Amino acid sequence: MNLRKKISLSLMILTMCLSVLAGCGSDSAAVKVKIGEVTRSVFYAPEYVALTQNFFKDEGLEVELQTIPGGDKTMTALLSGAIDVALVGSETSIYVYQQGADDPVINFAQLTQRDGTFLFARKADANFNWDKLKGSTFLGQRKGGMPQMAGAFTLLQKGIDAEKDLTLIQNIDFANIAGAFASGTGDYVQLFEPTASIFEREQRGRVVASFGVESGYLPYTVFMSKQSYISKNGDTVQKFTNAVQRAQVWVKEHSPEEIADAILPYFENTDRDILASSVKRYKEQDTYAVNPVIDGKEWNNLQDVMDNAGELKERIPEARIVDNSFAEKAGAGVK
Closest CA to 309 of 94, 124, 135: 94
pLDDT of residue 8 exceeding 50, the answer is no
CA distances from 308 to 64, 152, 302 (A): 36, 8, 10
Per-residue pLDDT, 60:
98
CB 57 within 8 A of CB 27: no
Average pLDDT of the residues in 35-51 = 96
pTM score, two decimals? 0.87
pLDDT of residue 2 exceeding 60, the answer is no
Is the domain 117-215 a CATH 1.10.3720.10 member? no
Bigger pLDDT: 2 vs 115: 115
Burial of 68 by CB count in 10 Å (0-12 exposed, 13-18 middle, 19+ buried)? buried
Phi, psi of 223 (to 5 degrees): -80, 130
pLDDT of residue 22 exceeding 50, the answer is no
Per-residue pLDDT, 173:
84
The third-level CATH classification (topology) of the domain covering 31-115+218-333 is D-Maltodextrin-Binding Protein; domain 2 (3.40.190)
CB 331 within 8 A of CB 108: no
Average pLDDT of the residues in 211-239 = 97
Alpha-carbon distance of 148 to 198, in angstroms, equals: 22
Bigger pLDDT: 6 vs 86: 86
Per-residue pLDDT, 95:
93
Confidence of residue 24 (pLDDT cuts 50, 70, 90): very low
Closest CA to 197 of 113, 256, 112, 261: 256
Per-residue pLDDT, 28:
56
Phi, psi of 144 (to 5 degrees): 95, -15
pLDDT of residue 83 exceeding 90, the answer is yes
Average pLDDT of the residues in 163-169 = 92
CB 153 within 8 A of CB 305: yes
Average pLDDT of the residues in 195-221 = 95
Sheet strand arrangement including 137-139 = 167-169, 137-139, 188-192, 117-121, 206-210
At 64 the three-state DSSP class reads: strand
**Cis (ω within 30 of 0) for the bond into 194?**
yes
Per-residue pLDDT, 174:
82
Per-residue pLDDT, 12:
46
Average pLDDT of the residues in 99-128 = 95
Cα-to-chain-centroid distance, residue 267: 16
Mean pLDDT, rounded, of the chain: 90
Instruction: With both helix axes pointing from N to C terminus, report the angle between 91-98 and 71-80 in degrees, rounded to the nearest 10.
Output: 60
pLDDT of residue 120 exceeding 60, the answer is yes
pLDDT digits (tens, 9 = 90+) for 257-288: 999 999 999 998 899 999 999 999 999 999 99
pLDDT of residue 17 exceeding 60, the answer is no
pLDDT digits (tens, 9 = 90+) for 295-309: 999 999 999 999 999
pLDDT of residue 26 exceeding 70, the answer is no
Average pLDDT of the residues in 165-171 = 92
At 115 the three-state DSSP class reads: coil
Same fold: 31-115+218-333 with 117-215: yes
User: How much of the chain, in percent, has pLDDT values that exceed 70?
Assistant: 91
Per-residue pLDDT, 70:
87
pLDDT of residue 5 exceeding 60, the answer is no
pLDDT of residue 77 exceeding 90, the answer is yes
| Domain spans in the chain, listed from the N-terminal domain onward | 31-115+218-333, 117-215
CB 221 within 8 A of CB 89: yes
User: How much of the chain, in percent, has pLDDT values that exceed 90?
Assistant: 81
Per-residue pLDDT, 334:
74
